[in-house]
Amino acid sequence: MLEVLFGNQNTERILFTLLLSKKCYAKQLADRFEVAVFGVQTTLQKLERAGVLISFKEGNTRLFEFNPRYPFLLELKQLLKKAYEFLPKEIKDKYYEPIIRKRPRRTGKPLQ
Amino acid sequence: MKNINLKKITIKDLAKIIGAQLSKHGIEAVLVGGACVSIYSENKYISYDLDFITYESNKKIKTALKEIGFEYDKKKYYIHPDCEYFLEFLAPPIAIGNQPIQNFNTISSNLGSIKILTPTDCVKDRLAAYIHWDDKESLEQAIIVAKVQKIDVNKIKKWAQEEFNGEKIKDFIEKLSI
């Protein structure tokens, strides 16, 4: 949808993911969208260099999030929100809003 | 450039030399970030990172800086084998929060000149980092600059009010008056 504006599909996927999930990392996105990690990393780094994203290391993982100091962040998010509304429900459910348990689970508790 | 010892150069002089070299190639750039803190604080805070913002292409920058021995490395910095400082060119625009920056200071000498954030904008820039990421070092840098340079505190308060509802700016005002 915004792929043409952003130049590639990875950018759209990254930005939609961040809009919904606040944080992301390359491997997570590569697994979710079944694409090469390298391509995702390249796009994440491009967005970081452009000042759209920032990154932090957490353990061995480099987490990316929107740069709160990006001067067009508000407008970008508005555009993304509008575009996201137009995504088919199946795509939203599959890629951006899968049901993932977020509440804690005690270490060692058996899965049922 | 031939007579300048890059091993002993100050950040301020290096910024001016880079400014002159870029200007020779028709490149307009502004120095932002920690280097401004170093310069305004008279090195009470030391930065080895000179961040510039320009609208010119990387190709043009690479050509200009190669002439004076600064090479582009894989980590996207420009480095010189004799110089402990490294240069980085950040993506435009020049902004602090939602506000574009239009007015700058110029520092100059016989070495050259470079546009640089004003002391007030330099303080705002550091405070924004403190407010967004709770980075205490940025708060300290803002205070160092504010104590050495003449800044417009009312302008900073107004900006903080508009951008962050005045949140956390009290920490700065309190520390400034100690």
| Residue B55 is assigned to a structural domain of this protein | yes
Looking at the fold, whether B160 and B83 belong to one and the same domain comes out as no
Specify whether B113 is located in the same domain as B124.
no
CATH number (domain holding residue A33):
1.10.10.10
Alpha carbons B148 and A4: distance in angstroms, whole number: 49
Q: Which residues in chain A have their CB less than 8 angstroms from residue B51's CB?
A: none
Q: Is B68 on the interface with A (CB under 8 A)?
A: no
Q: What is the band of A100 on the pLDDT scale with cuts at 50, 70, 90?
A: low
Please report the pLDDT score of residue B74 as a whole number: 79
Minimal C-alpha gap between A53 and chain B (Å)? 12
Residue A45 lies in a domain: yes
Write down the ipTM of this complex: 0.77
**Does A106 fall in a domain?**
no
- pLDDT of B148 above 60: yes
Whole-number pLDDT of residue B1: 63
Is residue B5 in some structural domain? no
**Structure confidence at residue B87 (pLDDT):** 97
Predicted local distance difference test score (pLDDT) of residue B2: 57
pLDDT single digits (tens) B49-85: 999 999 999 999 999 999 999 999 977 899 999 999 9
**Exposed e or buried b per residue across B47-62, where buried means at least 16 C-beta atoms within 10 angstroms of its C-beta:** beebbbbbebeeeebe
pLDDT at A49 over 90: yes
Is residue A109 domain-resident? no
Pick from B117, B136, B157: which residue ends a domain?
Answer: B117
| Domain containing residue B91 | 11-117
Q: What is the mean pLDDT of residues B115-130?
A: 96
User: Are B128 and A69 inside 8 Å of each other by CB?
Assistant: yes
Which residues are paired to B100 by β-bridges? B95
Q: Do A50 and B91 touch (CB under 8 A)?
A: yes
Q: Can you tell me whether residue A86 is helix, strand or coil?
A: coil
Pairing status of strand B95-96 against strand B105-109: unpaired
**Using CB atoms, which residue from B90, B98, B129 is nearest to A71?**
B98
- Please check whether residues B31 and B113 belong to one and the same domain: yes
Domain limits at A54?
Answer: 3-96
Assess if residue A108 is contained within a domain.
no
Q: Could you give the percent of chain B with pLDDT greater than 90?
A: 78
Residues B93, B55, single domain; the answer is yes
Any chain B CB within 8 A of the CB of A49? Answer: yes
Q: Is residue B87 part of a domain?
A: yes
Q: Helices B169-177 and B136-148 sit at what angle, rounded to 10 degrees?
A: 50
Does the reported pTM lie above 0.90? no
The answer to the question of residue B3 being in a domain is no
pLDDT tens column, B19-46: 999 999 999 999 999 999 999 998 899 9
Min Cα–Cα distance to chain A from B117, Å? 16
Phi-psi region at A64: left, alpha or beta (left = phi > 0; alpha = psi -120 to 50) = beta
Question: How much is the pLDDT for A62?
Answer: 96
State how many domains chain A has.
1
C-beta atoms of B129 and A69 within 8 A: yes
- C-alpha span between A83 and A54 (Å, rounded): 23
